[in-house]
Amino acid sequence: MTSEGSTSIILEDLTQPLQAFRTHLENVRDRVVFQSPVPSLCKSEECIVGIDEAGRGPVLGPMVYGISYCVKSNDDTLKKLGCADSKSLTEEKREYIFTRLCGETEHCGWAVDIISPMHISNCMLRRQKYSLNEISHGSAIALIKLLQSKGVNVCEVYVDTVGPPEKYEEKLSKIFPNISIKVSKKADAIYPIVSAASICAKVIRDLTLKNWNFSEKVKINQENGWGSGYPGDPVTKTFLAENMDHVFGFPKIVRFSWSTADVILKENAAPVEWSDDEDNVDENTTTITSFFNSSNKPSTHIFFKDRNLETVNFL
């Protein structure tokens, strides 16, 4: 089982995990899940699981959800690998730990859900809104179900929260009643298994951005690139302004649903008028709601009229 509409790819050979991932980057279109092979020991022994994300806030690039798992009796391996909050580690250190994690093929595994900017924008801008929190929750739930479908013996799950931790924990516990769930703020700094998930997500997001294949003609600053990708970054704002098409908007790397992008579009793009189907409805057409109006109630039978009988709501 994978996230709705996503492609799932198992990276069988992880002797060089970064290179293995790069060879599959052309498959990253709307949404794709990459996963390591499941160790046989993880199917027979109880496993702890960690979940975290990378790239929630930027206006550029995908959001990546990572899930890591390890045989509970071998969880000290994660500490030996140096698993810590990915934001406190250098890029080189993260890649080093990720490579070593991929080498722990007997009792550890991982998966990442790469959610493209286009997918995020489509969800958040559709008529029936689907918020970023809902996208995040949906990804975490789908990743847990993915492990279960692969036979991983999941006994404990630790999650870095999105929104109020109590409500999120209650939500997950209802879906997975037989699993011990713990949702916490800054869980990646508390639980090494969540740190491992955070590192997986961050490494894969960074690789995706570095190797982004633009199908559009873009202007990129040779010195600063597109900056950090965060809305408040002046370099990122310049990238957005210089790469906005008057009619088609931004390249696919941009999240159209972010307010930063929306403001630039409103100020510089061609105005668009969207016609609503309701505006074209024939005036003589009977709407379905009209059948529920009080004026359409059946008339009182003559038997009741002759006897001056009326319905009442109380005595």
Helix (H, G, I), strand (E, B) or coil at 218: coil
**What pTM value is reported for the model?**
0.82
Q: What is the pLDDT of residues 174-210, one digit of tens each?
A: 999 999 999 999 999 999 999 999 999 999 999 999 8
Specify binding-site residues. Answer: 52-53, 160
pLDDT of residue 215: 85
Residue 21 · residue 204 · CB < 8 Å: yes
pLDDT of residue 138: 96
Contacts of 51 (CB under 8 A, 6+ apart): 65, 66, 67, 140, 143, 144, 157, 158, 159, 160, 194, 197
Which of 94-98, 147-151, 293-297 shows the lowest mean pLDDT across its residues?
A: 293-297
Q: What is the pLDDT of residues 106-161, one digit of tens each?
A: 999 999 999 999 999 999 988 888 999 999 999 999 999 999 999 999 999 999 99
Q: Would you say residue 27 has pLDDT above 60?
A: no
User: What does the chain come to in residues?
Assistant: 315
Residue 53 · residue 46 · CB < 8 Å: no
Q: What is the pLDDT of residues 251-263, one digit of tens each?
A: 999 999 999 999 9
Contacts of 306 (CB under 8 A, 6+ apart): none
Specify binding-site residues for a divalent metal cation. Answer: 52-53, 160
Residue 161 · residue 185 · CB < 8 Å: yes
